[in-house]
């Protein structure tokens, strides 16, 4: 429920702040980001219609009224004034601003829906970056999983779709690693796993892991998920249950 009620609004925040929210684990950010982008584009269309009605139509009405009163002379052509009104609207800064948010919404929708990389709105991302520099907050203050681009390339999304379609179906490859006392589980998958967004908690068998990173590999299983073993875990609806039928180890 939070995904559809609060998610579209929280998805406007930079990715760094999204994952820092207390409710981050309860929100499916891919769905929230896609819905947020769709709403942004839809609101931009409505704003453009309202702006058109408030400018072009109002200006033409004023010209028509002035022409009927004989204030514009006998040589006036309403078509010419209509073209001038349309031109003024096209070059007006507010028109470009509305158009920007329409394009941004479409990009954010595509990024979340097709490449599973939800991103916030660019103005808030820029403000967040500026505050980080002014306050001296390091880029990795919230961990390496937060260093993501503001927008994912649509071309990259298409490439990923083609890559996924050409990868043969098969079991995930599991790699168990150790870094000192830290136990690391790497899952190499042939398909992207829905809703596997850091820092979700994953349960595998009777152990709990925190998803730290999702990266692209180069093998036949190009989707790599890096998980760190937790000392203890609490079962809940937000915990991802991972139980592959077969897995290569």
Average pLDDT over residues 173-200: 88
- Helix 58-68 to helix 78-91 angle (10° resolution) is 150
User: Above 50 in pLDDT, residue 141?
Assistant: no
**Residue 206: left if φ>0, alpha if ψ -120 to 50, beta else—which one?**
alpha
- pLDDT tier, 190 (very low <50, low <70, confident <90, very high otherwise): confident
pLDDT at 143: 43
For 53-91, how does the pLDDT look when each residue is reduced to its tens digit (9 = 90+)?
A: 888 777 767 666 665 666 555 555 656 666 767 787 888
User: Above 70 in pLDDT, residue 221?
Assistant: yes
Kindly report the length of the chain. 249
Q: Is the pTM of this model over 0.95?
A: no
Collect all residues with Cβ–Cβ distance below 8 Å to 241 and sequence separation of at least 6. Answer: 202, 203
């Amino acid at each position: 429920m939070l995904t559809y009620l609060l998610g579209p609004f929280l998805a406007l925040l930079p990715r760094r702040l999204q994952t820092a929210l207390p409710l981050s684990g309860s929100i499916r950010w891919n769905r929230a980001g896609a819905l947020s982008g769709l709403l942004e584009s839809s609101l931009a269309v409505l704003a453009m219609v309202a702006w058109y009605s408030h400018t072009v139509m109002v200006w033409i009405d004023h010209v028509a009224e002035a022409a009927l009163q004989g204030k514009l002379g006998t040589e006036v052509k309403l078509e010419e004034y209509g073209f001038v009104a349309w031109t003024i609207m096209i070059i007006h800064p507010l028109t470009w601003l509305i158009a920007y948010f329409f394009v941004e919404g479409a990009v954010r929708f595509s990024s979340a829906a097709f490449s599973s990389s939800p991103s916030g709105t660019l103005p808030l991302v820029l403000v967040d970056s500026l505050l980080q520099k002014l306050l001296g907050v390091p880029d990795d203050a919230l961990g390496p999983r937060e260093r993501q681009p503001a927008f994912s390339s649509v071309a990259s999304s298409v490439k990923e779709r083609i890559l996924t379609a050409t990868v043969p179906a098969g079991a995930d490859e599991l790699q168990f690693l150790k870094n000192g006392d830290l136990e690391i589980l790497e899952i190499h998958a042939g398909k992207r796993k829905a809703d596997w967004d850091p820092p979700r908690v994953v349960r595998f068998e009777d152990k709990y892991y925190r998803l730290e990173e999702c990266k692209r590999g180069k093998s036949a299983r190009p989707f790599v998920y890096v998980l760190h073993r937790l000392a203890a875990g609490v079962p809940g609806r937000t915990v991802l249950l991972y139980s592959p039928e077969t897995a290569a180890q």
